[in-house]
Structure 1
């Protein structure tokens, strides 16, 4: 499949963002996790839309990959602010996805 490495990274990011946002809802101090939850959810949505556009070979795919690159970096930074394992795992997946997006755009 065309762009399979990028689609794989995006799907991995979606999975980690969804897991992280759900796990954050179960943390003791949920108020500290609000930005993380919101960023995770937004990142998963942008990545999901990007996968769909790539699969359709849409003319809008490149623009979405650019946005995906941006939000994945932001999500990696936000999740990196927390010590929870699910946040660390999500930050790593988002960083990898941002790197793969950057390579696609180069």
Structure 2
């Protein structure tokens, strides 16, 4: 039996892909348009890192790699940081929600 037929993993893959998409498009559209704090290196790098680890975690689960536990653990950590930073800047509710939801899902997959 393949893991990705497991409903929890399937849900986590979907959360990761959604968060990847939301983080990347928010950074590229909203943040670049807003400028200022939104494009400061620390915040922008965090958003790019978050998008990439979400994509990587989804990939590891899709290929059924036993290493997905590690990528999911890291993903949960980065998503949590990203959610906090986006909340700090304000007016980024969609990104905050996607990151929180993904972090929760990844945390459960990491165990």
Report the TM-score when normalising by structure 2: 0.85
Q: What SS is found at the alignment partner of 2:83? A: helix
* Aligned residue among 16, 20, 45 for 1:14: 20
The structure whose residues are more often helix, as a share, is 2
Question: Does the 8 Å contact 1:73/1:95 carry over to 2?
Answer: yes
The corresponding residue for 2:89 is 82
**Which stretches in structure 2 are left out of the alignment for 5+ residues?**
none
Q: What SS is found at the alignment partner of 2:33? A: coil
**Which stretches in structure 1 are left out of the alignment for 5+ residues?**
none
Q: What SS is found at the alignment partner of 1:25? A: helix
Runs of 4+ in 1 over 6 A off after TM superposition: none
Cα distance in structure 2, aligned partners of 1:105 and 1:53: 12
Pairs aligned (count): 102
Report the TM-score when normalising by structure 1: 0.88
Question: Does the 8 Å contact 2:70/2:110 carry over to 1?
Answer: no
